[in-house]
Amino acid sequence: MSLRKMSARPATSRGSLTLSRGLLLGGLLALWMLALVARLYHLQIIQYVDLLARAERQQQRTVEIAPKRGTIYDRQLQPLAMSLAVDSVFAVPSEIPNPEMVADLLAPALGLGKGDLLGRFKTFKSFCWVKRKVSAGESARVRDLNLQGIYFQKEMKRFYPKGELAAQVMGYVGLDDHGLGGLEYRMNDTIRGTPGRVLIAADARRQSFRSTERPGQPGKNVVLTLDENIQYIAEKALADAVVKWRMASGAVVVQNPQTGEILAMAGYPTFDPNDFGKSAPEARINRAVSWVFEPGSTFKLVTVSAALEEHLASPGEVINCQNGSIVLAGHTIHDHEPYGGLTVRQVVAKSSDVGAIKLGLRLGEERLYRYIRGFGFGSPGGIELPGEERGLLQPPAHWSGISIGEISMGQEVGVTALQLVSAYSAIANGGVLHPPRVVGDVFLGDSHERAAPAMGRRLVSRETAEEMKEILAEVVEEGTGITARLAGYSAAGKTGTAQKIDSSGTYSKAYYVSSFVGFAPVRNPAVTILVVIDSPVGGYYGREVAAPVFRSIAEQTLGYLNVPQDNPSLWPQVASSTPAGPPRQKRGGRAGFPSQMSEPPGAALSPVRTVSFAPRLLPERGGTLILDNGPMVTVPDFSGRALRQVAEECQALGLDLNIRGSGVAVEQMPPARALVPAGSHILVRFAR
């Protein structure tokens, strides 16, 4: 009995032990399953996005493809900047059987270093650029090699078909098609568009097996207010001044005073945006908006306009110029000549500093400062270009005892070329200032974003503006701006000659900023033109350095725009059956050409018609006229030639070109093969 009981107990214990082990094992299994589920949940739910991204990074590579940048046009829809599709060479190193041999062959074909190429092949497996945006010749050489693992991808390359023309306005772009200067930088987001992408998929062995391209959206096109031909005229005239005066730098701005539109903006030195890397940084600066300089006597426009507007002076009032000197706060300021009594007109015409200072003293500091700010000085004008400076202008609280005199005559104040030309445009426009602008339209397809021009802001009354027009016209007729007289057109403007501050902090006796700013014709101005030249050599007065450049640009631009002449003097007549009579004489006149050349109805535009020619006459003291007996030049036949070709040939021959219209040459005077003195005026009419 007891033996059975003894034998039964161990059996029960063994069963309990087995059950406990089973439960323990089941519990462990359950915990393992729970941990596995938790891990799967963590991987599939919590870390899903991160792991998927990591897998995609390992399995595929995304290459961003720059979209086609929008085209930049001038106002006549002539392209100034465009994008062209070119080949870029890339490699899939995992597919290259012999990287060293491929590097040996590719390096000389693309002008690369073998070591650099081989290093890239070893570093990357699925993708690496070999060379982007290659030339047509380089692309052909690589294709002829037919190398395994080397592929081509089309990319857009920026191209500037006019080269240096308007380079500082246009700017330039980098290898990734991001704008780095000028409009290309300022309007990069608008012009660039949305980038495309190429997805290259690879397997576990890094072998590429699929690529997918997602096209981007092209950028928007921009139409500028610049005119290609006027820009060329301005740049050519500035380049001629560089040769003559060996200046350090310079700028020209041509503006439509009635709208504020910039028709030309030129600077020296300049650069080729197609190869901007070879240019010096200073050549890429747009001096029209970034260069701050003391304006000198051109700033007297503000002082005199304010005095007239406030009825503190009248054009005919005589100002005692104290024999050319005045003392302010213990400092004596001298005129360039010892003037006595001068009318307000003469103060401007003869550029009397003493007279301007006396008008500034009548205004007082606060009132003068208010007019300076009203004319736009001391703040940026808001043009669509980067790097625009506000200038230098201290409030009256920071002026010294001599400041009101210095500022009245254009010292102790810093301006930009754009500010100065806009101020003169306001007077030309009857006292209303239109903000300067260089962008006329933005469009993509049929969608246009032409912004309405900003409303003009009145600075002075129309009466004051008309009085200032007459005063500035007198500057050109018989004052310091006499060298700015135009053939066939009236003109108004002001010279400026400002000493630069040297390294010692005092005004230099050797370096000057010479300028001329004016508009034409006087009664109904079509253009305002500013010429400013830094540190000319061999001369420094604005009348001898800058005014002739103004004249050259103005005559050609007005002719190109077909602006009717309002001051014909010494103009030869259009050819007829009888020779033209002698030219008419007018006070201070110059040899010129008629505003229009007659053409019978239905007459053909080609070949170029021949027109009678009067010898070039030059004014002499007393108004008598003498022949210019310089070297003689044979006039070429310009028939059918483009404006730029005609301009370049006239420049080479030393002939002064005046143009009418646009397109190709259809009419000229004097006729082809005529002998004329070097420096003679040549009138050529163009038509489309």
Supply φ then ψ for residue 198, to 5 degrees.
-115, 120
Query: With b meaning 16 or more CB within 10 Å and e meaning fewer, what string describes 351-376?
Result: bbbbbbbbbbbbbebebbbebbebbb
pLDDT at position 349 is: 94
Phi, psi (degrees; rounded to nearest 5) at 270 = -130, -170
Q: How confident is the model at residue 216 (pLDDT cuts 50, 70, 90)?
A: confident
Q: What span, in angstroms and rounded, lies between the C-alpha atoms of 150 and 127?
A: 10
Helix/strand/coil for 343: strand
pLDDT at residue 228 is higher than 80? yes
CA 83 to CA 67: how far, in whole Å? 9
- Spatial distance between the Cα atoms of 390 and 655, rounded to a whole number of angstroms: 40
Q: How far is CA 350 from CA 29, 91, 138, 347, 471, in A?
A: 108, 72, 63, 6, 11
CA separation, residue 275 to residues 155, 162, 424, 513 (Å): 18, 13, 36, 30
Count other C-beta atoms under 10 Å from residue 477's C-beta: 19
Please write the tens of the pLDDT for every residue from 181-201: 999 999 999 999 888 777 766
Q: Which long-range contacts (CB under 8 A, 24 or more apart) does 277-286 make?
A: 282/249, 284/167, 284/168, 284/172, 284/181, 285/168, 285/387, 286/168, 286/169, 286/182, 286/385, 286/387
Q: Please identify which residue in the block is written with the tokens 């590579």.
A: 61
For the stretch 306-310, contacts whose Cβ atoms lie closer than 8 Å and that sit 24 or more positions apart, written own/partner, are 306/363, 306/367, 306/368, 306/371, 306/460, 307/344, 307/359, 307/362, 307/363, 308/344, 308/460, 308/464, 308/467, 308/468, 309/371, 309/460, 309/461, 309/464, 310/363, 310/367
Question: Is 447 one of the annotated active-site residues of the chain?
Answer: no
Mean pLDDT along residues 123-142: 86
First and final C-alpha spacing in the chain? 135
Task: Give the per-residue pLDDT at 193.
Answer: 87
Average pLDDT (413-431) is: 97
To which H or E segment does residue 211 belong? Answer: strand 208-214
On average, the pLDDT of the chain sits at 84
Provide the residue count of the chain: 688
CATH number of 568-688: 3.30.10.20
pLDDT of residue 208: 54
pLDDT confidence bin for 204, thresholds 50/70/90:
low
Q: Sketch the domain layout of the chain as residue ranges.
A: 63-224, 228-273+284-560, 568-688
From the candidate CATH numbers 3.40.50.300, 3.40.630.30, 1.10.260.40, 3.90.1310.10, the one assigned to the domain spanning 63-224:
3.90.1310.10
Mean pLDDT of 256-264: 96
Residues 601-625, mean pLDDT to the nearest whole number? 32
* Single-letter amino acid code for the residue at 180: L
Beta partners for residue 83, in sequence order: 158
The closest alpha carbon to 37, from 24, 50, 46, belongs to 46
Structure tokens at 139: 């692309």
C-alpha 224/C-alpha 217 separation (Å) is 22
- The CATH code for residues 228-273+284-560 is 3.40.710.10
- Per DSSP bridges, beta strands 150-159 and 632-634 are unpaired
Whether 197 and 63 have beta carbons less than 8 Å apart is answered as: yes
What pLDDT sits at residue 597? 33
Exposed (0-12), middle (13-18) or buried (19+): which is 615, by Cβ within 10 Å? middle
pLDDT digits (tens, 9 = 90+) for 497-548: 998 888 777 888 889 999 999 999 999 999 999 999 999 999 999 999 999 9
* pLDDT one-digit tens code per residue, 20-62: 888 888 888 888 888 888 888 888 888 888 877 777 666 666 6
Query: Contact, 82 vs 222, CB < 8 A?
Result: no
Helices and strands in the chain: count of H runs, count of E runs = 20, 31
Using only C-alpha atoms, what is the Rg of the chain? 37
Cβ atoms of residues 103 and 121 within 8 Å: yes
Compute CA distances 674 → 41, 43, 292, 614, whole Å. 96, 92, 47, 11
Q: Where are the beta strands (DSSP E) in 489-591?
A: 492-501, 507-520, 527-534
Distance CA 152, CA 53 (A): 27
Catalytic one among 83, 88, 290, 297? 297
Lowest mean pLDDT among 44-58, 118-132, 468-482, 606-620: 606-620
Residue (of 515, 609, 523, 591) closest to 555 by Cα position:
591
Examine the pLDDT at 248 and tell me if it is beyond 80.
Answer: yes
CATH topology identical between 228-273+284-560 and 568-688: no
Q: Closest by alpha carbon to 65, among 203, 181, 193, 228? A: 193
Q: How far is CA 609 from CA 145, 258, 663, 682, in A?
A: 57, 35, 16, 14
β-bridge partners, 254: 264, 529
